[in-house]
Structure 1
């Protein structure tokens, strides 16, 4: 039997980290090799399996980034953007491929991803869900067909704890629409209030809701005078992002250096 792909999870004690550990525990191809948390974390030394609602796996939470990555074949990072530079530099030094699912990245972070991908293979996506990446592709198709005929709106709903707004997924939808329709940021409106002039035909509005415990709902609307097309994705379990992340890590095994997205992983 072939040896499994050993995966280090960065940000392993968080919601996404726990979901990824659960998915890895059931994988026939990959397995957890290291569970990394931040310096001074209250979870240091605890069993990552038990913390993730599984049986004991004897892989303890560690803050030793270099050791954890060196003992792994691939890396999945779902930590915070403030540590992305350290993660990328360590992966580059140790020549390890990495999946980056951390949200709220700035343009500086994205440039760092591009630069590092000249040395190692990286998968980066604002959303690792297989269904959401179908949403991206369907939005692109709908924009090509209806974009010049329709009023377009994006709705982004997440749990009350989410810090970035709009979400990375809503931002990606925006970019797809702008690029497909040859529009610019000047066409983007974030919410509306007050007395407004008639809607500009090229306007694309983004509406952000943060309430309750919604995992993540996104809808793109195309309104014409005769009909309305809605393309929606509603996440029912955080594992949907974990499944995509593990699939991306497996995609990277033996891959050439470069910056890949989930379209590459899924063959879209």
Structure 2
């Protein structure tokens, strides 16, 4: 049984994970961390990790980046692995997480979905075959109208996974309206769509002469990210110090 501390337990993702784990026989939340105590859970909730006196096998972090330093201090002191799902971390905080991974296992991924991370592996296999065949690569991502960043972190992660196969020789092109010019061969085009309540849709297009191959992933709810975080927590519990990502989980 994997014992989990859920940081950000009363946020949207924290509550999705809470509900999913009620039906899970192999993992459970033993404590939550949240400044919001309005929601009643089946486990004790503390305002900060400093107040938490309950030990666990792993921490799932879906809270804001404000309490990041407390998270790192706790993980180092208690030697508790972290599944780091928090977005919007500064460059300094990312470096701090990497330093922490020398003492305790840390898993960080741009997208916790098992489907997206499987897609990355498929794209790498496709790239090895299709680019030598003269195929161009384009990525189109769609999200709801409240999303602030464009392109999405997931779109960039997909592009990065492709570019690894290409020895990082390809440039990313986000906006072709600024210059009237023919498409460069060594570029990955990335387009962002924002509208309605689209949870997340990513399409990768390999366009060749007289044929097109498309890979597409659609997220219909945030539950897919919660399921991925739970799988990651089960994987990370008991692991040696190091920096991990979702490719290790699905591998």
Q: Render the CA deviation track for 1:121-168: whole Å, top value 9, x for unaligned.
A: 111111111111111111111111112411111112122222332222
1:236 aligns with 2:229: no
Shift of 1:106: 4.1
Please, which runs of 5 or more residues in structure 2 have no aligned partner?
none
Give, in whole Å, the separation in 2 of the partners of 1:162 and 1:13.
Answer: 21
Query: For the structure 1 residues 139 and 106, does the alpha-carbon distance in structure 2 shift closer, same or farther, using more than 3 Å as the test?
Result: farther
Q: Normalising by structure 2, report the TM-score.
A: 0.92
Paired residues of 1:126 and 1:172 also in contact (CA < 8 A): yes
1:207 to 166, 173, 191: 191
1:36-51 equivalences under 5 Å are 36-38=33-35, 43-44=36-37, 46-48=39-41
1:44-103 C-alpha deviation (Å, 9 max, x unpaired):
25313xxxxxxxx2x354312133375322100112234333312221121101101122
Q: TM-score, normalised by structure 1?
A: 0.86
- Which residue is equivalent to 1:158? 143
Q: Which SS does the other structure have where 2:193 is aligned? A: strand
Residues 154-205 of structure 1: CA deviation (Å, up to 9, x unaligned): 11212222233222211211211222112347x1111331551110011111
* Residue 8 (structure 1) shift: 1.1
Larger mean CA deviation between 115-124 and 189-198 belongs to 189-198
> 1:184-223 maps to which residues of 2 (within 5 A)?
184=169, 187-223=171-207
After TM superposition, list the pairs within 5 Å mapping 1:119-130 onto structure 2: 119-130=103-114
Could you say if the C-alpha distance between residues 65 and 258 of structure 1 is closer, same or farther in structure 2, counting changes exceeding 3 Å? Answer: same
Residues 46/14 of structure 1: CA separation in 2 closer, same or farther (3 Å cut): closer
- Helix, strand or coil: the match of 1:175? helix
| 1:144 match | 128
Q: What is the rounded CA distance, in whole Å, between the counterparts of 1:184 and 1:83 in structure 2?
A: 37
Q: Which residue of 2 aligns with 1:177?
A: 162
Does the Cα contact within 8 Å between 1:45 and 1:62 map onto a contact in 2? no
- Structure 2 contact 57–238 (Cα < 8 Å) conserved: no
- Unaligned segments of structure 1, at least 5 residues: 49-56
Q: Aligned to 2:25, what secondary structure does the other structure show?
A: coil
Q: Deviations over 1:209-240 (max 9, x none)?
A: 22211111111111111211111110122111
Number of residue pairs matched by the alignment: 250
The answer to whether the Cα contact below 8 Å between 2:118 and 2:250 also exists between their aligned partners in 1 is no
Alignment root-mean-square deviation, CA? 1.9
